[in-house]
Amino acid sequence: MPDKRLPQFVFLFTIFCSMLLVNFAWDPVLVRAADQENCMLCHRYSGLGCFDKDTGAKKIFYVNEALYSNTVHNNVLCTHCHLNLKEVPHKPAKKVDCGTKCHVKDPSTNKDFSHKIVVDEFRKSVHGESALFTYKDKQPRCKYCHTNPLYSPLRGIMAEKPGCESEALARCLACHEKSPWTKRFLKHFVSRTSSRWNNKQMVDLCNNCHADEEFMHSFGLETTANFKSTFHYRNVKYESENAANCLSCHGPSQPIEIEEGKPVQFSAHSIKSADNPKSSLFKEHRALTCGQLGCHEGANRFFASGAVHGTGTKPTLLRKRLVAEAEELTQEEKEEIKADIKKAKMDKLQLTIIWGIKAFYKLMIILVGGFMFVHQMLDLRITLKERREGRH
């Protein structure tokens, strides 16, 4: 009887062809162009990960190629950021330093590109090398806000027209070569013409840490949770164009003339403590910050006084600091803290007065509203009775 089974080499050949087909169909061309080091050989598997020996935290090393190809770093080779990876399989990667030169040419200077300028600025800010961060793990790093973001789509009035991005690309291609670079340049340009975060996302991002009472008190700071009850936040909620988010005051994009004739440009990376004379919220600069174009133009120093999102816990926190650091502080610093306590007490009194007004009105609403409701219900009852008896 003849053997009806397929010959073994046919079977193996079919499997090999199928694997090739799957491989070509699954791998996006763009990614393979960027993945010159063939890192995706392992990192394409979604199960790739481990648990940290010390903290037990789950670490995932999977890279979604399709997403990565549409991120702002799609043209950067893995080893340009993960510097200590020399062989395969590699040793545990060190933390990435965003100030590293990544060998992508900066088209404006034709030199190796780096985020060093921003990183240096950030290190000088309150979130960088501040004395507050005794524990470095509590310090926000670049990745806390920047998560290798995707290119933003073309937005605004033009975006209402479908396919406007391909039309814009076609205009670029009229002069430039049809290459991944042209597409990437357009996407980069489009992404940077508007802020990545909208006002609400910005507030939520800051509030992730700043509204956490326990976390903020560990630094001796008040929380900002009640920013959400301010008029500023009401504008944020409805995506009003000139709504004030956290950066509008703490790192305003409009230059502020903090020294005569020397306008200073602030940013999210240069936020400084309000006690720092270089801060946009230093007491001498507050009126200028509040009076920015499109905000409270003409604001005077009286308007720019007092806490915007205070909770009244500052005097206690300052007193605790005075006690805890009594031996380390100089007499001058102690006097400064005492003056701050006095000012914080005034802010607390103001908050108490506002709380009192609200409490008074709540009581009035309950008493007056309650009386009126009962009165009208009694009137309804007696009027119906009168109508039944023909007296109305």
Least Å from the CB of residue 381 to another protein: 7
Look up residue 278 and give its amino acid.
K
Q: Are 170 and 94 in contact (CB under 8 A)?
A: no
Structure tokens at 186: 């357009």
Kindly report the three-state secondary structure assignment for every residue of 230-294.
CHHHHHHHCCCCCCCCHHHHHCCCCCEEEECCEEECCCHHHCCCCCCCCCCCCCCCHHHHHCCCC
Distance (Å) of CA 220 to CA 128, 129, 308, 314? 17, 17, 18, 8
Q: Are 295 and 242 in contact (CB under 8 A)?
A: yes
Nearer to another protein, 160 or 177 (CB): 160
Identify which range of 40-48, 90-98, 322-330, 353-361 contacts another protein by CB under 8 A.
Answer: 353-361
Least Å from the CB of residue 378 to another protein: 4
Look up residue 74 and give its amino acid.
N
35 vs 78: CA distance, rounded Å: 8
Which of 241, 327, 328, 389 contacts another protein by CB under 8 A?
Answer: 241
Beta strands in the chain (DSSP E): 49-51, 58-60, 256-259, 262-264
Q: Are 113 and 98 in contact (CB under 8 A)?
A: no
Which of 47, 92, 298, 390 contacts another protein by CB under 8 A?
Answer: 298
Least Å from the CB of residue 364 to another protein: 6
Position 381 contacts another protein (CB under 8 A): yes
Position 389 contacts another protein (CB under 8 A): no
Nearer to another protein, 221 or 299 (CB): 299
Distance (Å) of CA 384 to CA 363, 371, 375, 391? 31, 20, 14, 10
Position 380 contacts another protein (CB under 8 A): yes
Identify which range of 3-11, 15-23, 212-220, 366-374 contacts another protein by CB under 8 A.
Answer: 366-374
Q: Are 235 and 242 in contact (CB under 8 A)?
A: yes
Which of 38, 194, 300, 352 contacts another protein by CB under 8 A?
Answer: 300
By CB neighbour count within 10 A (0-12 exposed, 13-18 middle, 19+ buried), where does 268 fall? Answer: buried
- Total of residues contacting another protein (CB under 8 A): 44
Subset of residues 182 to 201 that bind another protein, contact rule: CB under 8 A: none
Position 239 contacts another protein (CB under 8 A): yes
242 vs 232: CA distance, rounded Å: 10
Nearer to another protein, 299 or 322 (CB): 299
Identify which range of 22-30, 113-121, 249-257, 349-357 contacts another protein by CB under 8 A.
Answer: 349-357
Position 240 contacts another protein (CB under 8 A): yes
Identify which range of 90-98, 175-183, 247-255, 347-355 contacts another protein by CB under 8 A.
Answer: 347-355
Position 316 contacts another protein (CB under 8 A): no
Position 98 contacts another protein (CB under 8 A): no
Position 353 contacts another protein (CB under 8 A): yes
Q: Which residues bind another protein (CB under 8 A)?
A: 231, 234-235, 237-241, 290-291, 296-300, 302-306, 350, 353-354, 357-358, 360-361, 364-365, 368-369, 372-373, 375-376, 378-384, 387, 392
